[in-house]
Structure 1
C-alpha cells in the first residue's frame, strides 16, 4: 500500500480540523503548513475566537502525544521543562519530565506566564532539547509548540521577548467569523462536536515522511535570493528599529515549501513566498517609536516590502 504524499497528509489533517474550525480555510491551511514544516505556531487574538480550539484540533489530528500547559503567573519553569527529584529508595536523583515532552505542546495563553517562565521554552523551541542540571534531554520528534496569546493590552499579560517571538515560524490571527460560520459553530457546539471528539487521521511515521517530503521540495536559487532580499529590505526600512534576521528568511523558505505541498506541488513559486510573508515576518519586526505614534503596523511594512522587491519569473522556479 502506497504511503500518502505530503499534500494528501495536509488534506487529511485540514479536513479533520475544519470539522470544528468553521469558515477559516486559509487559517487552517497556514496552521497545518506550520505542522508540516516542523515550525512552531503562535496564535494571537482576543479571547473566545477559538485559538485554543485550533491548537487542540491540530494536536488531536496526529497520532502522537500532546500536552497542554496553561500559563499563569504562578507557573514555574520546572513545570515546563521538568525537575530532578530525589528517589530515596534508590538513593539517587531522577529526572521527572515536564510538559514539553510531547510531540505537540499547547502553550495556552503563553503571555500570562512571567518572563522567567516564558524563557523555559527558548532552548526546547530552538534545539528540541531540554537541559536540567547540565544534563540534556531530547524531546520527541516531530516537536511542535502551538502557543496562544491574548493582545498585550489585556490585563495580566507579559510581552513575549523578541528572542522567543523569533522562534515561532508563523503568527496567525483567528479573527471574527462571518454570520454563517458563527451559526455553524453554534450548531456544532450544540451537537457536542469539538476537539475532544476528533480522532487522529495520521500517525507519527506518516507525519515524519510528509515533513521530509516538504523539506525536499525543490526551491530555486532565485527564490532563495527573493526571500533574502525581502528580509534585507525590512532591515533598511525607515519605519523599523529591527528587521527580520536570517532566521526570518530561512523561515520564509521553510514555510513556502510547506505551502507548496498544500497546493500539491513539489516545487516553490514566488506566490508561495508571498502567501506566507505576513504570518512569517510580521512578528519579527520592531517598529520605531515614530512609526507607532503614526499608527503604522508591521503588516503595512510587509506590504510595502513586497511591493518594492520584484519577484523572480515563474519560469525560473520550476524544476
Structure 2
C-alpha cells in the first residue's frame, strides 16, 4: 500500500501502524530488550521533534541513534562532539573559490535529514548553541544568508551524565529544543545474555538496512498532526503546565514550548497505539520523557535530594484528568 492510497481514516491508521511496527522491529534488532525506549524514540521522530539520549557510557546510546537513522532511507550524518569542535564544523562555512572568484557556502554535517550529535555535552556551550537555530527554525544562517535544511529534519543527540569528567552542562535553552529526553538504562539479564551470545558468535552488531522511505516518514509525521486532540485534553495539558509553574519545589516550570511538545508527543503515542485520537493516558505515557528535562528544582529541593521525576509525578497526581476513554 502506497502512502498516496491512505485516503480514509481506517486506511491511514492501518498504514501508519504497519510502518511503525516495521521500523520498531528493525531498531530493536540493534537494541534488544528496550522496546519502551525505542517507542519513545519513534514517538519523537513521528512528532517531528528532536531526541536527547542521556546515560552512562556503554549502554547503547549511540547504537540507538545509529539504528534509528539506518532504519530510514534518508540522508544522515554523525558529528562526534569534542572540546575543540567549532560551530562552523557543524553548520558549514563560506570559502573563497579562486576559479570563480566568488565566495561559496560549503554545507556542514547539519544538512541532513537526521543528524547524530554524539556526546553533545563534550563540546563547549558556544558550539552546542550552533544547533539552536536549526533545531527550531530548520534553517542555518551563515554570513547573513539563510539556508534551509532537508525536510524532515531531526537531531538525535547523546550525552553523558554531567558529573562525568570533561562534560559541559547543556544550557536550558538548548535542552528546551529537545522534544524528548530518554535514558537507555542497563539491559536485564536475559537481554544482556542475548547480546553476549550474539556478539561472541558474530563479533559485530547487526547491520541494519532501511525499511522506510523518506516520503513515508513525511506522510507519517503529517498523519500524526491530524490525530484528534479534544479540547478537554488540551485543558488537561494546560492545567499540568500551570501546576508546574506554581509548584513550590520548582524554580522553572513547563514553558509553552513544553506544552506543545507534550501535545505532539501524545498524538504520536496515540498513533503508535493504533488510535486516531488522544486520551489522557497518552499524555501521562509521554509526560516524563517530554517534560522532566525542562523543569528546574528550587535550591532547597536540590539540597533535600528531590528528583525532578518525583516532583513531576506529584504534579500529575494533583491534576485531575478528563474522563475521555473512547473516540470523540
**TM-score (norm: length of structure 2):** 0.95
Q: Does 1:318 align with 2:304?
A: no
RMSD: 1.1
Specify the alignment match of 2:180 in structure 1: 170
- Which of the residues 140, 144, 151 maps onto 2:150? 140
Specify the alignment match of 1:54 in structure 2: 64
Could you tell me how far apart the structure 2 residues matched to 1:33 and 1:8 are?
15
Q: Deviations over 1:264-291 (max 9, x none)?
A: 1111110000000000000000111100
What stretches of structure 2 of length at least 5 have no aligned partner? Answer: 4-13
Specify the alignment match of 1:109 in structure 2: 119
Structure 1 runs of 4+ off > 6 angstroms?
Answer: none
Instruction: Show the 5 A alignment for 1:197-276.
Output: 197-276=207-286
**How far off its partner does 1:8 sit?**
1.8
**How far off its partner does 1:7 sit?**
2.0
Specify the alignment match of 2:6 in structure 1: none
**How far off its partner does 1:186 sit?**
1.8
Could you tell me how far apart the structure 1 residues matched to 2:15 and 2:203 are?
32
Specify the alignment match of 2:130 in structure 1: 120
Specify the alignment match of 1:82 in structure 2: 92
**How far off its partner does 1:10 sit?**
1.2
Could you tell me how far apart the structure 2 residues matched to 1:233 and 1:192 are?
51
**TM-score (norm: length of structure 1):** 0.97
- Which of the residues 190, 194, 197 maps onto 2:205? 194
Could you tell me how far apart the structure 2 residues matched to 1:263 and 1:251 are?
18
**How far off its partner does 1:22 sit?**
0.7
Q: How many residues align?
A: 317
Q: Does 1:302 align with 2:312?
A: yes
Could you tell me how far apart the structure 2 residues matched to 1:89 and 1:11 are?
51
Is the partner of 1:123 in helix, strand or coil?
A: helix
What stretches of structure 1 of length at least 5 have no aligned partner? Answer: none
**How far off its partner does 1:2 sit?**
4.1
Q: Does 1:94 align with 2:67?
A: no
**How far off its partner does 1:193 sit?**
5.1
Q: Deviations over 1:67-113 (max 9, x none)?
A: 00000000000000000010000000000011110000000000000
Specify the alignment match of 2:7 in structure 1: none
**How far off its partner does 1:26 sit?**
0.6
Specify the alignment match of 1:292 in structure 2: 302
